[in-house]
C-alpha cells in the first residue's frame, strides 16, 4: 500500500554498486574520480543504511500494532564501537560490498578505517549497554535505548614522555552517517525555580513546580540491527539545545555575546561525557545531564511511543525502565511528578504504578562509586523532585518503623537522605526502594551487594534482589573481531553458535583432536600477525615474532591493580639483570597494556607513566631482549580491543577479590581462546567454574580473607620486609631506575604501596608470581595449552549477552516482552 516503506536496494553486487554511486553523487555531491576516502566512507555508510531502512520502519510499525511491552534501557553511556562492520554483518552484505567496492577500485578495509567510533562511554558499564541492545535486537525483543548524544565522547589518550595527555574526542567532525536527527520531535525540559502550593479546580491542595529555565532535547535516532533477522531496534540519544537561539532584546542592544549566552549554556549539557569511571564528582552539570536525558526519554515514551489515548494506569504492561546504575535514577521522581502534578493522580496510585515501571542494576561495590547528590544542589536544580524524594522517603521510613518499632538506628541507616558529611540523597537507596527488582552483575557481586552494600534492604525485601551475570555480544566480539576463529568454529559445528552461544560446547571433543589444535594455533598466530601489523601502522610499535601475548586492558584503577602487573614485570627484569634468572629458561613474553585514567585521578596517571617508563627501560635493555617486551598502545578503545583480544594468549583479571563487580573483558578473552590468570572476583569466579580449574590460573586472597586482613589492620610494609623478591622490585622502582635516576617521580606510588596499599597488592604479590610460574610451565606444553584454550572457548558460551537478556526477561522484566514478528 501507499504508506508501506520503500523496499531495500537489491541484495547483489550490481544493486549495491548502483546505490553506492547514487549516494556518492546525490548524497555527497562528488564524482567517483574526485571522491575523498571520507566521501567514499560516508556514501558507503549511507548505502548500508538503506538496506536496513525498510526493516527499521517495519519494526517500528509492528511494535506499535502489537502493543507489546518494551524495555526502555536508560543509560548515560553507550560505548558502541564502530558501526559499519556490524551493519554489514547484520545485513549479510560484507561480501557483496567488498566485491562491489573492489570493482570500483576501492578497498573496503580502507573505508572501514575511516570510521571514528562513537565512544559515548567510559568502560564496562557503557560497553555492556551496547552489548545488551545488540542482543535484544537479535532476539527480536522490543527495546528502545535512551541516552545522551555527547558531542565529545571519552577523551582521546596520547602519551607525552610516557604521561597521559587528554585530547578532545571530536567524533562528529567528519560527518555522522549513522544518525537521524529529529528536531521536529524535540521536547522541552525544565530546571530550577521553586515549588508552590495551590488549590486545583476540584478544591484539592496540590504542589507544582515553577521552573526558571528550560532546554530543548533533540532526539537523534540510531539503528540497532539484529543479526540477520530483519529486525532493527532504536537507540535514541538526546542532544541539548537552547529553546530560543538568542535573546533578541539583548541582541538589539548590541550585546551579541550576552545574547547567545543562554544558547551556549543549554548546549553545554550534552557537550561532553564525564570521564570519571566510578568516582562521581558531584558536579551540577552531571546532574543536569542525568535529568535532561531521563526527562526527555520519559516524555518521549509517554507522548510519542504510546498511543495518544493510552491510559497510564496500564503503563507497567507496556514498559519497564531499566536503570543502568544510579545515573538515571532521577527518572523515578520525574515519573511521579508527571503522574501526580501533571495528571493529577493520587500519590498512592502513582507510586504503585511507578514502582512497577522501574528496575535497578548496580554495577559497583566501591563505596565511593555510589552516587549521592547534596540536597542543596538537587533542591536548587530540581526543587519539586527533591520534595517528591522526601515524600517517598517519609512513606518508606514509616513502613520500616512499623515493621521494626523503636529501631531508630535502622531508620537512619535506611533513609534515602544521608545526614553526614553533608545532607544528601543516596541514589542507590532511592533506586532500591523504587525498583521492582535490584540486580548485581555477577553471582559474587550480587551476593556482596545483598550482604555488604544494601544489607538492610535485602533483609526488608529478600525477593527484590536477584543476579544477572553480565555477558558480551558474540557478534561483535567473536564473529566480527575474530573471523579466523569464527570460520574454524563454523566449519566444525555450523553457524548456529552466533545466536546460540551455548552450542560452542559442541567443540569440546575437538580439544583432543591434534589436527584441530594445529588449526586453532594457526588462528592465534594469524591474529597475532594482524595485531602486529595494526600496532606498527597505528603507533609504530614493533612486536617480537613469537612470544606469549599477556594482556591487561581495562580502565586504570587502583582496585584493578595494574601495579601488581608492573611489579611482576619489574621483578622478572630485576631477576634477569641481577643474574638470578636465565632469560632463556622462560617463554618469551609480550606484556600489553591498554588503559585510560580519569583525568583527575593522580595515582592512576602516575601508574600509566610508570608502565611506560618501565617499558622504555626494559625494551631497550639487551640483557632481556627477546624475553621481555612491554607495549602500551595509547587510546585503548572498542576498536583496538577488537584486534587485541583475539591475539591474546593470557588474560589478566587480577582485581582485589570483592572489588570488581563483574568484568566483561574477562569474558571476551575466554571466548577468544586466551587463558585467564585471575583472582576470585566478579565473573572470574563463574568463568573458572565453567572452564575448569585446570584451565584457569587462580591466585590470591578470597573476599573473606581480604575482609579479615583489612579488619585486623593490614600493614603492607611487613610484606615488603619479608619478601626479598618483592623488596628488590620495589627498591628498583624507588631507586629511580625507570626515571633516569630521579627518585621523586614514582615516589608517590612507592610510598602508597608501602604505607597504604588499599587494594592489597603486596599481600597478593607472591601468590601472583607463583601463578605466573604456573603459566610459564603450562605454556611450555604447547599441545596442552592449546587444549585448554579450546576448552575456554567451548565452555564460555554462557557469557553471551543473549543469555543475559533471557535472564533479565525471566527474572526482572517478567512478562516477556512479546516478540513482534
Ligand atoms: C562517575 C560515577 C560513576 C559511578 C559508577 C561512573 C561509572 C560508574 C560505573 C558503575 C563503573 C562501571 O563501569 N562499572 C563496571 O560495570 C561493568 C558492567 O557491569 C562491570 O563489568 C565492571 O566490573 C564494573 O566495574
**Spatial CA neighbour of 329 closest among 414, 417, 431:** 431
pLDDT of residue 63: 83
Q: Are residues 308 and 425 in the same domain?
A: yes
CA-CA-CA-CA dihedral for 383, 389, 390, 396, to nearest 10:
170
Is 639 tagged catalytic? no
First to last CA, the chain: 19
Residue 177 lies in a domain: yes
DSSP 212: S
* Ligand 1 atom 13: residue of nearest CA: 125
| Euclidean distance between CA atoms 812 and 178, whole angstroms | 31
State the residue range of the domain holding 13.
Answer: 1-66+85-116
Cα angle vertex 808, ends 69, 653, to 5°?
Answer: 145
Residue 494 lies in a domain: no
Q: How far does the centroid of ligand 1 lie from the alpha carbon of residue 88, in Å?
A: 30
- 182: CATH: 3.40.50.2000
Atom index in ligand 1 nearest the CA of residue 128 equals 18
Is residue 502 situated within a structural domain? no
| pLDDT at residue 254 in the model | 77
Residues 623 and 600 in one domain: yes
Spell out the residues 6+ positions from residue 42 whose beta carbon is closer than 8 angstroms to its own. Answer: 23, 27, 28, 174, 175, 177
- Looking at the fold, whether 543 and 464 belong to one and the same domain comes out as no
Percent of the chain that is helix, strand, coil (3-state, to 5): 55, 15, 30
* Annotated catalytic residue 554: yes
> Closest ligand 1 atom, CA of 441?
19
Please pick, among 643, 664, 676, 679, the residue that the annotation labels catalytic: 664
Report the pLDDT value the prediction gives residue 515, as an integer from 0 to 100. Answer: 98
Distance of alpha carbon 19 from alpha carbon 100, whole angstroms: 11
- What value, to the nearest 5°, has the Cα angle with vertex 482 and ends 477 and 488? 125
- Phi-psi sector, 344: left (phi>0), alpha (psi -120 to 50), beta: left
pLDDT along the chain (821 residues), means of 10: 67 97 97 98 98 92 85 98 98 98 98 98 98 97 97 98 98 97 96 96 94 96 97 97 79 75 87 89 93 98 92 96 98 98 97 98 93 97 98 98 98 97 97 98 98 97 98 98 98 98 98 98 98 98 96 98 98 98 98 98 98 98 97 98 98 98 98 98 98 98 98 98 98 98 98 98 98 98 98 98 97 71 46
Q: What is the pLDDT of residue 707?
A: 97
Same-domain check for residues 108 and 138? no
Tell me whether residue 232 is in a domain.
yes
Are residues 255 and 265 located together in one domain of the fold?
yes
Question: CA 21, CA 42: separation in Å to the nearest integer?
Answer: 12
Comparing CA positions, the residue from 660, 805, 812 lying closest to residue 142 is: 805
Is ligand 1 within 6 A of the CB of residue 655?
no
pLDDT at 3 (0 to 100)? 58
Task: Give domain status of residue 193, yes or no.
Answer: yes
Residue 125 Cβ contacting ligand 1 at under 6 Å: yes
Yes or no: say if 15 and 9 are a contact pair by the CB < 8 Å rule.
yes
Q: Report d(CA 381, CA 269) in Å as an integer.
A: 13
Check if 449 has its Cβ closer than 6 Å to any atom of ligand 1.
no
Residues 132 and 92 occupy one common structural domain? no
The protein residue whose alpha carbon is closest to atom 1 in ligand 1 is 280
The pLDDT value recorded for residue 62 is 86
Distance from Cα 603 to the centre of ligand 1, integer Å: 19
Contact residues for 453 (Cβ-Cβ < 8 A; gap 6+): 362, 365, 367, 370, 428
Distance CA 410, CA 400 (A): 8
**Which residue out of 125, 361, 559, 682 has the highest number of ligand 1 atoms within 8 Å of its CB and is therefore the one to mutate?**
125
- Indicate if 526 and 625 belong to the same structural domain: yes
> Does the Cβ of 325 fall within 6 Å of ligand 1?
yes
- Asked if residue 485 lies in contact with residue 646, where contact means CB atoms within 8 angstroms, the answer is yes
Comparing CA positions, the residue from 342, 346, 467, 327 lying closest to residue 395 is 346
> Are 105 and 185 found together in one domain?
no
Please work out whether the CB of residue 726 comes within 6 Å of at least one atom of ligand 1: no
Q: How far is the CA of 469 from the centre of ligand 1 (A)?
A: 14
| Residue with cell string 541484495 | 11
Does residue 326 have its Cβ closer than 6 Å to ligand 1?
A: no
- The β-bridge partners of 143 are 71
Q: How far is the CA of 367 from the centre of ligand 1 (A)?
A: 12
Query: Is the CB of residue 660 below 6 angstroms from any atom belonging to ligand 1?
Result: yes
Catalytic residue among 426, 560, 688, 803: 560
Across-strand partners of 147?
Answer: 237
Provide the domain count of the chain: 3
Task: Pick the catalytic residue from 555, 557, 568, 589.
Answer: 555
Interatomic CA distance for residues 361 and 356, integer angstroms: 15
**Complex ipTM value:** 0.96
For residue 5, what pLDDT is reported? 58
Is residue 87 helix, strand or coil? helix
Asked if residue 552 and residue 418 are part of one domain, the reply reads: no
Q: Tell me how far the alpha carbon of residue 441 lies from the centroid of ligand 1, in angstroms.
A: 10
Element (H, E) at 76: none
Question: 324 C-alpha to center of ligand 1: Å?
Answer: 9
Residue 276 CA, closest ligand 1 atom number: 1
E strand or H helix at 652: strand 650-653
Q: What is the pLDDT at residue 473? A: 98
Please state, as a whole number, how many other Cβ atoms lie within 10 Å of the Cβ of residue 710.
Answer: 13
Cβ contacts of 635 within 8 Å, gap of 6 or more: 156, 157, 158, 596
Report yes or no: 566 and 609 within 8 Å, Cβ to Cβ: no
For ligand 1, the distance from its centroid to the CA atom of residue 219, given in whole angstroms, is 26
Query: Among 361, 305, 333, which Cα is nearest to 77's?
Result: 361
Atom of ligand 1 nearest to the CA of 361: 19
Are 794 and 508 in contact by the 8 Å Cβ rule? The answer is yes
Calpha distance 102→709 (Å, rounded): 63
658 CA from centroid of ligand 1 (Å): 14
Same domain, 520 and 453: no
Annotation marks residue 725 as catalytic: no
Instruction: Report the pLDDT value the prediction gives residue 256, as an integer from 0 to 100.
Output: 77
Query: Is residue 708 situated within a structural domain?
Result: yes
In the residue annotation, 555 being an active-site residue is answered as: yes
Ligand 1, residues 75, 119, 132, 278: which to mutate, most atoms within 8 A of Cβ?
278
Assigned domain for 503 exists = no
- The answer to whether 319 touches 72, Cβ cutoff 8 Å, is yes
Mark whether 747 and 763 lie in a shared domain. yes
Q: How far is the CA of 78 from the centre of ligand 1 (A)?
A: 12
Assess whether 363 carries a catalytic annotation: yes
For residues 52 and 134, membership in a common domain is answered with no
Name the residue at shortest CA distance from atom 10 of ligand 1.
363
Tell me, what's the pLDDT at 2?
44
How many Å apart are CA 136 and CA 227, to the nearest integer?
10
- In angstroms, the CA 605 to CA 12 distance is 51
277 CB near ligand 1 (under 6 Å): yes
With respect to residue 507, please indicate whether it lies within any of the assigned structural domains.
Answer: no
Beta-ladder partners of 676: 651, 696
Cis peptide before 421 (omega within 30 of 0): yes
Q: Could you confirm whether 343 is annotated as catalytic?
A: no
Query: Residue 441: CB within 6 Å of ligand 1?
Result: yes
Amino acid at each position: 500500500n501507499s504508506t508501506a516503506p520503500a523496499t531495500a536496494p537489491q541484495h547483489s553486487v550490481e544493486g549495491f554498486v548502483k546505490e553506492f554511486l547514487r549516494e556518492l553523487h546525490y548524497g555527497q555531491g562528488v564524482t567517483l574520480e574526485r571522491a575523498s576516502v571520507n566521501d567514499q566512507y560516508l556514501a558507503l555508510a549511507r548505502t548500508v543504511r538503506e538496506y536496513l531502512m525498510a526493516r527499521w520502519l517495519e519494526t517500528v510499525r509492528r511494535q506499535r500494532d502489537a502493543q507489546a511491552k518494551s524495555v526502555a534501557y536508560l543509560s548515560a553511556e553507550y560505548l558502541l564501537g564502530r558501526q559499519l562492520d556490524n551493519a554489514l554483518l547484520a545485513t549479510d552484505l560484507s561480501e557483496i560490498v567488498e566485491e562491489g567496492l573492489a570493482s570500483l577500485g576501492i578497498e573496503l578495509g580502507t573505508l572501514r578505517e575511516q570510521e571514528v567510533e562513537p565512544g559515548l562511554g567510559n568502560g564496562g558499564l557503557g560497553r555492556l549497554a551496547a552489548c545488551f541492545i545488540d542482543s535484544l535486537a537479535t532476539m527480536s525483543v522490543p527495546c528502545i535505548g535512551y541516552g545522551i548524544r555527547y558531542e565529545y565522547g571519552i577523551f582521546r589518550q596520547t602519551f607525552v614522555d610516557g604521561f597521559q595527555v587528554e585530547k578532545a574526542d571530536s567524533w562528529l567532525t567528519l560527518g555522522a552517517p549513522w544518525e537521524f536527527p529529529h528536531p521536529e520531535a524535540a521536547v522541552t525540559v525544565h530546571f530550577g525555580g521553586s515549588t508552590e502550593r495551590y488549590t486545583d479546580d476540584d478544591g484539592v491542595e496540590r504542589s507544582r513546580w515553577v521552573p526558571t529555565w528550560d532546554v530543548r532535547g533533540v532526539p537523534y535516532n540510531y539503528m540497532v540491527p539484529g543479526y540477520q533477522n530483519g529486525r532493527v531496534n532504536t537507540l535514541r540519544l538526546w542532544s541539548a539545545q537552547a529553546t530560543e537561539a538568542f535573546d533578541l532584546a539583548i541582541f538589539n542592544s548590541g550585546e551579541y555575546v550576552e545574547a547567545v549566552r543562554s544558547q551556549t549554556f543549554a548546549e553545554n549539557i550534552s557537550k561532553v561525557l564525564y570521564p570519571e569511571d566510578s568516582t562521581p564528582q558531584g558536579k551540577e552539570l552531571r546532574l543536569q545531564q542525568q535529568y535532561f536525558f531521563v526527562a526527555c526519554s520519559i516524555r518521549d515514551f509517554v507522548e510519542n511511543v504510546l498511543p495518544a489515548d493510552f491510559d497510564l494506569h496500564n503503563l507497567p504492561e507496556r514498559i519497564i525502565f531499566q536503570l543502568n546504575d544510579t545515573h538515571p535514577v532521577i527518572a523515578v521522581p520525574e515519573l511521579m511528578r508527571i503522574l501526580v502534578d501533571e495528571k493529577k493522580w493520587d500519590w498512592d496510585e502513582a507510586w504503585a504504578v511507578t514502582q512497577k515501571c522501574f528496575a535497578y542494576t548496580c554495577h559497583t561495590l566501591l563505596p565511593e562509586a555510589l552516587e549521592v547528590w547534596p540536597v542543596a544542589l538537587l533542591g536548587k536544580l530540581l526543587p519539586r523532585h527533591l520534595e517528591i524524594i522526601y515524600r517517598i522517603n517519609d512513606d518508606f521510613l514509616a513502613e520500616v518503623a512499623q515493621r521494626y518499632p523503636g529501631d531508630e538506628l535502622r531508620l537512619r541507616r535506611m533513609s534515602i537522605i544521608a545526614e553526614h558529611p553533608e545532607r544528601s540523597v543516596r541514589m542507590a537507596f532511592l533506586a532500591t526502594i523504587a525498583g521492582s527488582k535490584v540486580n548485581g552483575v555477577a553471582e559474587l557481586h550480587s551476593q556482596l551487594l545483598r550482604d555488604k552494600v544494601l544489607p538492610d534492604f535485602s533483609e526488608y525485601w529478600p525477593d527484590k534482589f536477584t543476579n544477572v551475570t553480565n555477558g558480551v555480544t558474540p557478534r561483535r566480539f567473536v564473529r566480527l573481531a575474530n573471523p579466523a576463529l569464527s570460520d574454524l568454529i563454523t566449519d566444525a559445528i555450523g553457524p548456529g553458535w552466533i545466536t546460540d552461544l551455548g552450542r560452542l560446547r559442541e567443540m569440546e571433543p575437538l580439544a583432543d583432536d591434534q589436527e584441530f589444535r594445529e588449526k586453532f594455533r594457526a588462528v592465534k598466530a594469524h591474529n597475532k600477525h594482524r595485531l602486529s601489523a595494526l600496532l606498527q601502522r597505528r603507533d609504530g610499535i614493533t612486536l617480537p615474532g613469537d612470544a606469549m601475548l599477556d594482556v591487561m586492558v581495562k580502565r586504570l584503577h587502583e582496585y584493578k591493580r595494574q601495579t601488581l602487573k608492573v611489579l611482576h614485570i619489574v621483578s622478572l627484569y630485576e631477576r634477569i639483570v641481577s643474574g638470578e634468572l636465565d632469560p632463556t629458561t622462560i617463554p618469551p613474553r609480550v606484556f600489553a597494556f591498554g588503559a585510560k585514567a580519569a583525568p583527575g585521578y593522580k595515582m592512576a596517571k602516575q601508574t600509566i607513566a610508570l608502565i611506560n617508563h618501565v617499558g622504555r627501560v626494559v625494551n631497550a635493555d639487551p640483557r632481556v631482549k627477546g624475553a621481555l617486551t612491554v607495549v602500551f598502545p595509547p587510546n585503548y578503545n572498542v576498536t583496538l580491543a577488537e584486534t587485541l583480544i583475539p591475539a591474546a594468549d593470557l588474560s589478566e583479571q587480577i582485581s582485589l577479590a570483592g572489588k570488581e563487580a563483574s568484568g566483561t573483558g574477562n569474558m571476551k578473552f575466554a571466548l577468544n581462546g586466551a587463558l585467564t590468570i585471575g583472582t576470585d572476583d566478579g565473573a572470574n569466579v563463574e568463568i573458572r567454574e565453567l572452564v575448569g580449574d585446570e584451565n584457569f590460573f587462580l591466585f590470591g586472597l578470597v573476599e573473606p580473607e581480604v575482609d579479615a586482613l583489612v579488619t585486623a589492620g593490614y600493614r603492607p610494609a611487613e610484606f615488603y620486609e619479608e619478601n626479598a623478591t618483592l623488596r628488590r622490585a620495589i627498591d628498583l622502582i624507588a631507586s629511580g631506575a625507570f626515571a633516569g635516576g630521579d627518585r621523586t617521580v614514582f615516589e608517590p606510588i612507592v610510598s602508597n604501596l608501602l604505607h597504604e596499599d588499599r587494594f592489597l597488592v603486596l599481600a597478593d604479590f607472591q601468590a601472583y608470581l607463583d601463578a605466573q610460574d604456573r603459566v610459564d610451565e603450562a605454556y611450555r606444553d604447547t599441545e596442552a595449552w592449546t587444549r585448554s584454550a579450546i576448552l575456554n572457548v567451548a565452555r564460555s558460551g554462557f557469557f553471551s549477552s543473549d543469555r543475559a537478556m533471557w535472564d533479565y526477561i525471566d527474572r526482572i522484566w517478567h512478562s516477556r516482552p512479546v516478540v513482534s514478528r
